[in-house]
């Protein structure tokens, strides 16, 4: 049962990495420092005081940078692969009772996968926001992303089951929309539209 909670906590934190990279790492650090989460062997550095300073500084810089129109689009191109890596790390760091091969497979597929899905979705939405508002709507979008990252990270630590249901629902919705768009575009192409 503890392993299941660790896996769903990791997936929740990974989803938060899809919105913001450093918010869930800071949440993981603070949860470890205050005894809410145990870190897997080899990941103790995430729960250290130096990591707190590093993650807090990086979080602050990331938050500020996403409020600058067009800089946020550049950050998205960098954040896409980095969020997958961060999602993999946060998932692996909380799974303590599985063999390494199983742990890393879960971390890469589930953790990195959900972070990538969410990051890809937010990057596409930000690009549309930049196009339609000239970048002026992006600060509002950045606020929603930040709130989503904080909310999901806190839920992942405190109420992992609720977080998992929320994240799974979001992932299914995104995948449905993408699939629906692909089918719609193929149908339109086949009829010469």
Cα end-to-end span (Å), the chain = 53
CB of 25 within 8 A of CB of 86?
A: yes
105-113: which pairs have CB atoms within 8 A and are 24 or more residues apart?
106/7, 106/10, 107/10, 110/7, 110/10, 110/11, 110/14, 111/10, 111/11, 111/13, 111/14, 111/87, 112/14, 112/84, 112/85, 112/87, 112/88, 113/84, 113/87
What's the Rg (C-alpha) of the chain?
A: 17
Q: For the segment 117-166, what is each residue's pLDDT rounded down to a tens digit?
A: 999 888 888 888 888 888 788 888 889 999 999 999 999 999 999 999 99
Q: For the segment 21-59, what is each residue's pLDDT rounded down to a tens digit?
A: 999 999 999 999 999 999 999 999 999 999 999 999 999
């Amino acid at each position: 049962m503890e392993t299941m909670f660790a896996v769903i906590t990791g997936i929740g934190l990974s989803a938060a990495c899809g919105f913001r990279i450093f918010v869930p790492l800071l949440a993981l650090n603070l949860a470890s420092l205050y005894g809410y989460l145990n870190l897997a062997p080899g990941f103790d550095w995430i729960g250290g005081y130096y990591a707190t300073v590093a993650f807090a500084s990086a979080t602050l810089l990331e938050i500020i940078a996403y409020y600058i129109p067009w800089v946020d689009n550049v950050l998205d191109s960098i954040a896409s692969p980095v969020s997958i890596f961060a999602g993999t790390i946060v998932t692996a760091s909380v799974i303590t009772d599985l063999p390494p091969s199983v742990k890393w497979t879960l971390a890469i597929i589930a953790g990195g996968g959900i972070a990538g899905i969410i990051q890809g979705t937010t990057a596409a939405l930000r690009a549309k926001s930049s196009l339609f508002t000239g970048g002026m709507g992006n600060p509002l979008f950045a606020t929603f992303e930040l709130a989503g990252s904080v909310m999901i990270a806190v839920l992942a630590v405190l109420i992992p089951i609720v977080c998992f249901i929320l994240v799974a629902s979001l992932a299914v919705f995104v995948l449905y929309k993408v699939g629906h768009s692909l089918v719609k575009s193929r149908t339109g192409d086949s009829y010469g539209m």
